[in-house]
Copies of this chain bind each other. A is one copy, B any other.
Amino acid sequence: MTLPNVAQNFRQQSPLVFCLTNAVVTNFTANVLLAAGAAPAMTNLPGEAGPFASVASALLVNLGTPTTEQLTAMREAVDSASAAGTPWVLDPVAVGALPVRTEFAKQIVGQRPTLIRGNASEILALAGWDSTGRGVDSQDSVDTAIAAGRELARKHGSVVAISGEADAIIDAERTTLVHTNGIGLTKVTGGGCALGAFCAGMLAVHEDPFEAAVAAHGFYGLAAEKALANSGGPGSFAVAFLDALAATEPHELEELNYEELPHA
């Protein structure tokens, strides 16, 4: 994989990432994208979401706090992205734990997201397997969700990324574990949600979505490691993480610790 090149393209092209995301993380998500070198944009309005999804570089659909109107905008945006060939990410936040979004996610995943990113409980639930999630927390390990991720990947032609102690990136043929220390991100709200937006940006600048997802998770994790070393708690970690995203250079991905698992 040529991970540094993917990150280099991201910096040079500054992808315009259209985020339909949750109310808790809008600000952090936009700041993550800006710090990393992308251009964030958000609108949740039907009549705008469709047109914008066709001109944006990539789309994020995050189900964290949907409203009735936002769900309409999401359908419109996904239709438009699909028609335009815009890559899009589905983040099935709390799917399995909450009913309306679970039904919605099971419908919209049929429109073949380029990437599905979630924690193990969400991936298990989206695949219809047993899970023990209780909201945004994952109560399941990444290992237990890899087989469910493979099933989703094959069924919908998507890359699937499962966040956890190690992150698993999966498609129909490949499984890679990305090893970074992301413990700091678990104490800041939106660590995973903003990663979904960052992945969307990477999808926009690289042809192979599997490699783009590995690059996104690796770059994000390396920045999180720096931030952990430069902070004294969750408040200063979030600040240091934004600084680290801006300061991390694409070539640092040469040192990323990742592991290709045998094809199952």
Partner of A34, one of B23, B64, B189: B189
Partner of A65, one of B39, B44, B243: B44
> When the two chains form their complex, are residues B31 and A189 in contact, meaning their CB atoms are under 8 A apart?
yes
6 pairs, CB–CB < 8 Å, chain A vs chain B? A22-B42, A27-B190, A34-B188, A40-B136, A48-B101, A235-B238
Residues in B with CB closer than 8 Å to A26 are 23-24, 27, 65
Residues in B with CB closer than 8 Å to A246 are 187, 233-235
Closest CB in chain B relative to A12 CB, distance in Å: 16
What's the Cα separation between A117 and B13 when bound, in Å?
Answer: 28
Q: Which of A29-44 contact B (CB under 8 A)?
A: 30-31, 34-35, 39-44
What's the Cα separation between A113 and B30 when bound, in Å?
Answer: 28
A130 interface contact, C-beta 8 A: no
| Residue ID in chain B nearest A68 by CB atoms | B69
> When the two chains form their complex, are residues B98 and A51 in contact, meaning their CB atoms are under 8 A apart?
yes
> When the two chains form their complex, are residues B243 and A239 in contact, meaning their CB atoms are under 8 A apart?
no
| Residue ID in chain B nearest A18 by CB atoms | B135
Partner of A239, one of B23, B99, B236: B236
* Contacts A134-B55, A239-B235 given; does A94 touch B41 at CB 8 Å: yes
> When the two chains form their complex, are residues B42 and A24 in contact, meaning their CB atoms are under 8 A apart?
yes
| Residue ID in chain B nearest A55 by CB atoms | B134
Partner of A99, one of B48, B56, B137: B48
Residues in B with CB closer than 8 Å to A247 are 232-233
What's the Cα separation between A145 and B41 when bound, in Å?
Answer: 22
What's the Cα separation between A99 and B34 when bound, in Å?
Answer: 24
Residues in B with CB closer than 8 Å to A183 are none
Residues in B with CB closer than 8 Å to A43 are 65-66, 94, 98, 101
> When the two chains form their complex, are residues A235 and B47 in contact, meaning their CB atoms are under 8 A apart?
no
A242 interface contact, C-beta 8 A: yes
> When the two chains form their complex, are residues A41 and B236 in contact, meaning their CB atoms are under 8 A apart?
no
A240 interface contact, C-beta 8 A: yes
Closest CB in chain B relative to A18 CB, distance in Å: 8
| Residue ID in chain B nearest A135 by CB atoms | B41
> When the two chains form their complex, are residues B235 and A240 in contact, meaning their CB atoms are under 8 A apart?
yes
Partner of A27, one of B27, B34, B35, B41: B27
7 A-B pairs besides A48-B98, A233-B242 with CB distance below 8 A are: A22-B42, A23-B23, A35-B235, A43-B98, A45-B98, A233-B243, A236-B242
